[in-house]
Structure formats: C-alpha cells, structure tokens
Structure 1
Amino acid sequence: MTKIGIVVGSTRPGRRGRIVAEWVAGVAASERPGIDFEIIDVADFGLPLLDEALPPASGVYGKAHTVRWAEAVAGCDGFVFVTPEYNRSMPGALKNALDFVYAEWNDKAAGFVGYGLQGATRAVEHLRLVLAELKVATVRSQVALSLHHDFTFSAPTEPGDLTPGPHQHSALTALLDDVVAWSRALAPIREGVAA
C-alpha cells in the first residue's frame, strides 16, 4: 500500500500546522481510500540542531532521535509538507529536520500545503530547492491557504479555526492525486536502489 506522510513543519507554540495537517488527512481519508496517510509532526521528534558527527549522506546515525526520524521518513513513499512562511522561507525546524537524513528522502514525491499571509508561497519555493537536492520530485499542484480568507480567529494568540473555501478542497484533491501518482511512479526506482 502506498504511504504518504503529512509532515507538519512548524514546532512553534500556537501553530496552525497541526489543524491544517488534520484537514489534509481528513480530505485524504475520504477522497483517497486505499492510500495510507499519516501525520508526521516534526515537533514529536525532539530534533535538536543537527548534532550527528557524520554527514547524513553517510547513512550512519549515532543518535536515537535521528534513527527514529530516519525510520519515519523511510517508511513513506511520498509526502505532503504543511508549512507556514517565516521571514520569506520555511521554518528553521523544518529545514533542520530535512537536513538530518538523506537517503530516506531519495526518489520520493512531495506536494505542499502552505499557510500564511500569502499562502506561504515563498516558503514552498525554498522547500522545492532543498528537496531537489534530496532527490525528491515535487509536484506542481499546491495549496496556498490565506490567513485572511481560510481561517477564523477568536483571539490573536489562538491558532483559530480552518475554514477553507471550496476551491481549496479541489486544489488539495489535485495535489493528492499528483503526489500519489508520482510516489507510485517512483516506486521502481526506490526498489531498484534497495535491490
């Protein structure tokens, strides 16, 4: 069965990433039965700033948190990255998590659900560059959630409620179709590398 990890890229208190990831998982479960979608929250792994003695490309991991993270990434065929935009880029925690491992990312597909004032489009552009170096094929389809139009807030310090417009649902289903198709298409390459 194809497994797609929904990676929550922010670890910040009060973040909106978890509710966005739950929305993605809910739509995926109802629209794409037969595909295993799993939320992988970077905050659950307690990754410090990269603290491995050897480069990730060596595949030699000396820390328990790295091994745990490597297993989570390796267990997926593709990914949907859920990211906000911090200062025109991705969160530092997400970049750090990407840098921790290497081969576990290779020959997989990824799509993006961004959220922010401009839908995190600049963060997604940076993610595309980093993932290319990790040998991840990124799909063109993406979701750009606006804090002004796709969330409602009761207080500025609360994550708010996600209220995406109907066009966001169709954008998400297109993204999921692409990620699943590319993940399956890349399977022979992953299997060839493993053989």
Structure 2
Amino acid sequence: MSRPRIGIVIGSTRKARFADKPAQWIFDLAAAHGDFEVEMVDLRDYPLPFFEEDRSPAWGPSEGEVAQAWQKKVASLDGYIFTVAEYNRGPTAVLKNALDYAYTEWNAKPAAFVGYGGVGAARAVEQLRLHAVELQMAPIRSGVHILMADFVALMQGQAKLGEIAHLEDGAKAMLDQFAWWAKALKAARDADVAQAKAA
C-alpha cells in the first residue's frame, strides 16, 4: 500500500494571517515523520464564493469551476490537518465554507487540527470536529493548541516553532495517532474499491 497523501489545509486567507507559521511547522514535522506524502493546501488558491450552489454536494454535482477544482483536490488526499484560527469562539468563515463545498470527497478520511490564539482555538476546533463527523471524516482525539502565551511570543519573535518543547511533543503525539488512522482508513477504502471492481 502506498503511503497516505495528506493535506495541510491553511484555514485562513487574511493578508496578515499567522497561519503560514504553524502550517509550515506541521508540514515539516509531517514530512519528517515518514508515514505520509505531504502537500500544502492553501485556501487562497481556491477562492470559493460563499456557498451558492443550488444543492449540497452531498446530493449532486457542483456547477462552479472553483468548487469542482476544490473537490478534486480534496478527493486526491487521504487525510487532512487543518490550521485553525478562532474568531468569536468559532472557526474562520472561509474554512467552514470550504468544508461545505465538498462532501463525499471528505468521507472516511482522518482529520486533525492545529489551533492557535487565546485558548489555542479549542472552541473553534470543537466545532470543526462536529462538522468533520457530519462530513463522515474521522476527527482524531489528539491536536495541537498554541495557547496565548506561546502565540504572543511567536508573534513578537521571542520564540520560534520547533523550539517549544511541549508543542513539539503535542505535534508528535498527534502525528503518530493521525498516521494510524490515515493508514487504517486508506486500507479500508482501497479494499472497498477492490471489492467493487471484483463484483
């Protein structure tokens, strides 16, 4: 079985976003982990309008070209690690919108989260776990939460990701758990495909 291909999904598109730092950090750690092929997926590259399709992608094909390109990208991946900012106790609108623009493409794949901000985006991550379940993903238990003290130190250049031991430990635990789920779910999906071809 080939290694699972996972996407590091940058969950913010703001000009002055912080998201690039944790995205690159977790990308490098995931690439070094050895169990994955890793790809950066930037929502800036998929300028989706606020959801305006006639029907949910759960019930029929999307018409918009950007939506179709986004669905193709989501389908090409075996799992997702999302960077998560928290706005008003919830995830960014652009990330929620991107989730809504696909359905079957997310199914039976693991999801993990790297949150940052006041409470490490814990409240936004909890909401995203619910969305992931509805999209038939498997959100894993372990995540990374960059709390305010570390977040401020990183923003002010007083610290660097890769030098904060408890975040490194948290990321390793998350990636180990994520690897198990990514491989198990990929094997199950591959078995379903083989069975369907043999029928």
TM-score (norm 2): 0.88
Q: Between Structure 1 and Structure 2, how many residues are aligned?
A: 189
Q: CA deviation at 1:26?
A: 1.2
Tell me which amino acid in the other structure corresponds to 1:57: A
TM-score (norm 1): 0.90
Out of 21, 30, 37, the position equivalent to 2:23 is 21
C-alpha contact (below 8 Å) 2:53/2:62 kept by paired residues: yes
Q: CA deviation at 1:42?
A: 1.2
C-alpha contact (below 8 Å) 1:8/1:41 kept by paired residues: yes
1:155-188, CA deviations, whole angstroms, 9 ceiling, x for partnerless residues?
xxxxx68624111011111111111210111124
Cα distance in 2 for residues equivalent to 1:51 and 1:161: 43
C-alpha contact (below 8 Å) 2:114/2:144 kept by paired residues: yes
Structure 1: any 5+ residue segments left out of the alignment? 155-159
Within the alignment, does 1:163 sit opposite 2:164 as a pair? no
* Greater strand proportion: 1
- 1:13 is paired with a residue of what secondary structure? coil
Supply the RMSD in Å over aligned alpha carbons.
1.7
C-alpha contact (below 8 Å) 1:59/1:103 kept by paired residues: no
Tell me which amino acid in the other structure corresponds to 1:76: L
Q: In the alignment, what sits opposite 1:186?
A: 185
- 2:16 is paired with a residue of what secondary structure? coil
C-alpha contact (below 8 Å) 1:145/1:168 kept by paired residues: yes
Within the alignment, does 1:77 sit opposite 2:78 as a pair? yes
Q: CA deviation at 1:96?
A: 0.4
Within the alignment, does 1:175 sit opposite 2:157 as a pair? no
Tell me which amino acid in the other structure corresponds to 2:106: W
Tell me which amino acid in the other structure corresponds to 1:163: K
* Greater helix proportion: 2
- 2:149 is paired with a residue of what secondary structure? coil
